[in-house]
Chains A and B, each alone.
Chain A
Amino acid sequence: MTATFECKGLSKNFGSTQALEDVNISIAPGRVVGLLGPNGSGKTTLIKLANGLLTPSEGEVLICGDHPGVESKAVVSYLPDKTCMPLWMNALQLMDFFQDFYRDFDRQRAENMLRRLGLDDRQRLRQMSKGTREKVQLIMVMSRKAKLYLLDEPIGGVDPATRDYILDTIIRNYDPEAVVIISTHLISDVEEILDEVLFINQGKIRLQASVDDIRQQYGKSVDEYFREVFKC
């Protein structure tokens, strides 16, 4: 079976700084994976490479066997770590936009989630609070039936209620055939919804393991184990 997400000898430098160094990862369909690491460890660089927003310096990224490109972008659903939706649009216009460009966009699903959020369809993104914008953006991203979801810091800087909403949305829309990669440094918040974790630090993958294996083997949570591994 082809891995949904694969990195082979992947490196990326920006000038003289090495952001990623010889990263090798392979993730099979049906996994929810946490990409965990301190700030500036290379999480966002890895996700940008997977989206084709950056070009590798060495090695390659494969999405369902393809290099990032038009085909891979059609099956990857990406949530950047900032608001990227045009602020002049409202929810209806956003849905039109997603429906036009993504064949896997499930409008019904998006409408249901927006209704549950109690949002006015015609309110522009500009007029929404930061938390609401992030929710709307997540709804758009999770309303696609993609093969790979790349969520970059989905719960960074939101209040606990919003965080619960976001995690619940991810669980509810979970597709057993898809891979979800969640990058974050807030491990204890996401730990229970993960199958696997990737520890990344200073551009290198330090560990790929299943959450329950870590708990079984070390008798501690991933969060505690992470703190131990990356003790300063």
Chain B
Amino acid sequence: MDWSFNNDTPIYSQLVDKIKLSIVSGQLPPGEKLNTVRDLASEAKVNPNTMQRAFQELEREGLVFSQRGNGRFVTEDMEAIMEAKKAMAQEYIRSFIETMEKLGYKGEEIISLIRGGKEEDKQ
């Protein structure tokens, strides 16, 4: 996992996003046991409290669950994973559109640009 951080958002929320991405992309498959908070904190070079907070957030969203004395696991609830995936996709689209609008493109223009890009890719 890439553990570099940007400067303008809280570290814990960046951690949440990174782990979420690993889960929805299947890099961390459903039911997979997660490393301990301490190990992950050491790997990411962040404060264990921050890593803990990120996991609490992920637990609240239902993407990971902890089993007493057994550690933490990725959820096996595919629906929850798909939902998170969709939410993330929507978030990326929203910020993408925002950027495009800043560049001066409007709804249909953006779609046709994407189509055009895709056509070019095929050629």
Chain A residue, CB-CB nearest to B41: A171
Which listed residue (A164, A176, A221) contacts B45, Cβ 8 A?
Answer: A164
Query: Number of A-B pairs whose CB atoms are under 8 Å?
Result: 61
Chain A interface: which of B6-14, B89-97, B104-112? B6-14
The count of residues in chain B whose C-beta lies closer than 8 Å to any C-beta of chain A is 18
Contacts of B44 in A (CB 8 A): 192
Give A contacts to B, CB under 8 Å.
30-32, 164, 167-168, 171-172, 174, 176, 192-195, 211-213, 215-216, 219-221, 223-224
Q: How far is the CA of A172 from the CA of B42 in the complex (A)?
A: 6
Contacts of B38 in A (CB 8 A): 171-172, 174
Contacts of A164 in B (CB 8 A): 45
| Segment 32-49 of B: residues with Cβ below 8 Å from A | 38, 41-42, 44-49
In the complex, 13 of the A-B residue pairs with CB atoms within 8 angstroms, ordered by the A residue number, are A30-B49, A31-B49, A168-B45, A171-B38, A176-B48, A176-B49, A192-B50, A195-B50, A212-B11, A212-B12, A215-B8, A220-B7, A224-B7
Which listed residue (A193, A194, A216, A224) contacts B9, Cβ 8 A?
Answer: A216
Q: How far is the CA of A195 from the CA of B10 in the complex (A)?
A: 11
Chain A residue, CB-CB nearest to B7: A221
Q: How far is the CA of A172 from the CA of B10 in the complex (A)?
A: 22
Contacts of A193 in B (CB 8 A): 45-47
Contacts of A176 in B (CB 8 A): 48-49
Contacts of A168 in B (CB 8 A): 42, 45
Minimum CB–CB distance from A208 to chain B (whole Å) comes to 16
Chain B residue, CB-CB nearest to A192: B46
Beta-carbon contact of B11 and A174 below 8 Å: no
Beta-carbon contact of B42 and A171 below 8 Å: yes
Chain B residue, CB-CB nearest to A225: B7
Chain A residue, CB-CB nearest to B13: A212
Chain A residue, CB-CB nearest to B5: A192
Q: How far is the CA of A27 from the CA of B112 in the complex (A)?
A: 56
Known: A168-B42, A171-B41, A174-B38. A192 touches B7 (CB 8 A): no
Minimum CB–CB distance from A24 to chain B (whole Å) comes to 23
Beta-carbon contact of B8 and A171 below 8 Å: no
Beyond A174-B38, A195-B47, 17 additional pairs, beta carbon < 8 A: A30-B49, A32-B49, A171-B41, A171-B42, A171-B46, A172-B38, A172-B42, A174-B41, A192-B5, A192-B44, A192-B47, A192-B50, A211-B11, A212-B11, A215-B7, A215-B10, A219-B9
